[in-house]
Amino acid sequence: MALAAGLQFDYVSLAEGAPARWDDVLGVVTFGDGAAPTGNIPLITVRTPVLAGGGGCEVWRAQGRVESGQHSQVQYRRSDDLLFGWISLTEASGLGAATEQAYREVFATVNELGYPHLARIWNYLPQINVETQGLERYRQFNSARRNALIAYKRELTGNVPAACALGSVTGSPLVVYFLASRQAVTAVENPRQVSAYEYPEQYGPKPAFSRASILDGTLFISGTASIVGHETVHVGDVAAQTREILANLEALVSEANRLAGGPSRFDMKSLAYKVYVRNRPDLAVIQSQLRATLGPHARLLYLQADICREDLLVEIEAVGRSN
């Protein structure tokens, strides 16, 4: 799947996870608990079990030469225009400290190497809904992410990266990976939802992410849940939550087309989707809802992961190029 000038994305199986050609690979993310494929560039391992589809490996490529590097604890691969980076930290001094350190290092890396525009950030942390010291860990994460943004004088609203934040298997490190650019990124909000950075106080420290981003003809849709306004809808009904997410995704695609202007269009059928399922037994219901709307040929990778509100049963992210 060809994305922005040069950027390409694919889901492959674990067996194919070590590409024959590495020279244009920006990054390889492997999901699940299986052994990571071996290769001569480092791989990102995210411990979220694979339930179906896609093979469990996400490969990002760029056009032209790509080189590897490391800046503090951030490892990266970069082309002339794009930098794909990742950092994995154990929680030696708690989740807040690890999150703040990870984000400080991400910002230092992209600033110093000259790729200051963050298009998309993926966040995975264990026990995301567990409360410690009186605060849910997802809220601790939000507070620490904000502190790092403030420390680096980055925006807290408006022009913030698209993102997702999911629960990984207990005992996993905090894993943050990201795509940054030399070129500006356009943030997209969902007209059906209150912007996350404007959520009311009841949800804790305000989450600093945009609903989607556009970078050079590529649309990155953030983790999208069954939320309308700021409230979870269809509590306990996974089929209805899936349909509400599809409505949110349609709204985001329309909004992205409005903002992008021009003749080229994003459309639901040409996106690739990553679907996070809280409870394994819900998989079949979610799959049948998605097939009904997206058709039998949609590219879908299903992972088991906890989602950042206890009442959310499913969350979906997407990526694709305009045509």
Residues 182-221 that bind ligand 3EB (CB under 6 A): 196, 207, 209
Closest approach, Cβ 61 to ligand 3EB, in A, equals: 25
Q: Which residue number, 61 or 103, has a Cβ lying nearer to ligand 3EB? A: 103
271 burial (CB, 10 Å; 0-12 / 13-18 / 19+) is buried
Site for ligand 3EB in 108-167 (CB under 6 A): 123, 163-165
Helix axis angle, 137-151 to 95-113, nearest 10°: 30
**106 is an interface residue for ligand 3EB by CB under 6 A:** no
Determine, following the binding rule CB under 6 A, whether residue 245 of this chain makes contact with ligand 3EB: no
Which residue number, 36 or 251, has a Cβ lying nearer to ligand 3EB?
A: 251
Which of these is catalytic: 100, 189, 315, 317? 315
Q: Is 225 in the site for ligand 3EB (CB under 6 A)?
A: yes
Q: Is 17 in the site for ligand 3EB (CB under 6 A)?
A: no
- Please, which residue, 18 or 160, has the CB nearer to ligand 3EB? 160
Q: Which of 310, 292, 291 is nearest to 52 (CA)?
A: 291
| Crossing angle of the two packed helices 238-260 and 283-294, in degrees rounded to 10 | 40
CB of 161 to ligand 3EB, least distance (A): 9
Active-site residue, 315 included = yes
Per-residue x/- marks for ligand 3EB, 295-314, CB under 6 A?
A: -------------x------
Question: In angstroms, what is the minimal distance from the CB of 311 to ligand 3EB?
Answer: 11
Comparison of 66 and 98: residue with beta carbon closer to ligand 3EB: 98
Tell me, by CB under 6 A, how many residues bind ligand 3EB.
12
Residues designated catalytic: 315
